Structure 1
Amino acid sequence: MGVVHLIRHGQASFGSDDYDVLSPIGETQSSALGQGWEAEGFVPTDAVAGSMKRHAQTAIAAIDACGGPDGYDVDAGWNEYDHVGIATAHDAGALGLDSKAFQRLLNQAIADWRSGVGEYDEPYSVFVERVMGAFDAAVATAGPGRSVAVFTSGGPIAMIVSHLLTGDDALFQRLNDVIINASVTTVISGSTGPRLLSFNEHTHLARDLVTYR
């Protein structure tokens, strides 16, 4: 039996000039993940990350803290949807909102994106296809006795968990709203295919390090 660990990146830098970098809290969360693995005596056999900077930074911090594996592969299939493009397609003034107001607007914008309302650089159907393709590749790597750490974002994790639980994307938005930064969702893969073992595990984070955005 193989295992795939889906890790949401540490907190990014909302409101800064470059959202796609970890905040100081995000850096601490990512290190805490690796330290938790080290304390358990766990080292993944393989690692892969999306091509976003926050994915790379989370991977490097966690891998350094637990002592391995030796580097990671990059697969852009694990990248997040373009939340800025989706939000501004819904409301051109979206980026001027505070984080809570932006999240409310983004949820409305994602509902439009999913229903096909508006024009986007990446249609929702394309997002679903690339994420599920990246997941299939990770499952194929996770052969017997192997554990694959995947450093990605909340959207891909929510999509995969929804498909594992319901066979489709019915739970995508509900799950996406509650995924914690630097949390771990674990999928086991054996003769019956991939199955969800745990969702959104974050006991490696101190209470003051638990963030959702």
Structure 2
Amino acid sequence: MRGLTGAGPSARGSVQAVSTALVVLTALALFAAACATGGTGARDEGPAHADSVVGATVSPTPSPSDSYQRVNAVTLVKDDPKVSPAVKRDLKPCAADEYPVDVSYGSLTGSTVEDIVVNVLTCGDAVGVGAYVYRSEGGRYQNVFRAEESPVYAEIDRGDLTVTKQVYEKGDPVSSPSGENVITYTWTAGRFVEESAHHTDYGNAAGGVTSPVPEPTQAPDG
């Protein structure tokens, strides 16, 4: 608007009217943009891999009526009689109060409260030494799945439990396994049963070999 400097009174009145109109339009545009964003900033809770270090804060905190109930995974594992003494003994902070525990919440067993998948890892190379699933029963979490054949890692995949076990040949370094076995379990009749399994050879250009689907069997230590 500097190009209108020096204009007569009528011009200045026009300039003022235009400037006022622009201010009003700008304010309305900002108000509309703020309304369009909507929401309160809350995010749906997903798998809590970012919650691997027990004690980290999660925002926002779900209300007691939600199916998600956050727990202290370290205490859960250490108080669990089904967890081996070796895993409990080695479950120590890697630094300060940061434990090598990876925790995920999700629906696996059809419970009204989301199930909890806990992976216990090593501090140095994050190798899985134990994988567990906890189900809420009568207000308490019960261990309904355990796998402690290291290296092992459990995840929630579209409502099923998938367990990955790295395969090492003689001479393989920890960072370079020769392949992996992936087993999928489904919650059936009050327990996890094996639904499918396949092996992937990392050195196979074809991308691995899929084994026949085995007959459903009960998961280990379910």
Task: Output the TM-score relative to the length of structure 1.
Answer: 0.25
* Structure with the bigger percentage of helix: 1
Task: Output the TM-score relative to the length of structure 2.
Answer: 0.25
Which protein is bigger by CA-based radius of gyration?
A: 2
* Structure with the bigger percentage of strand: 2
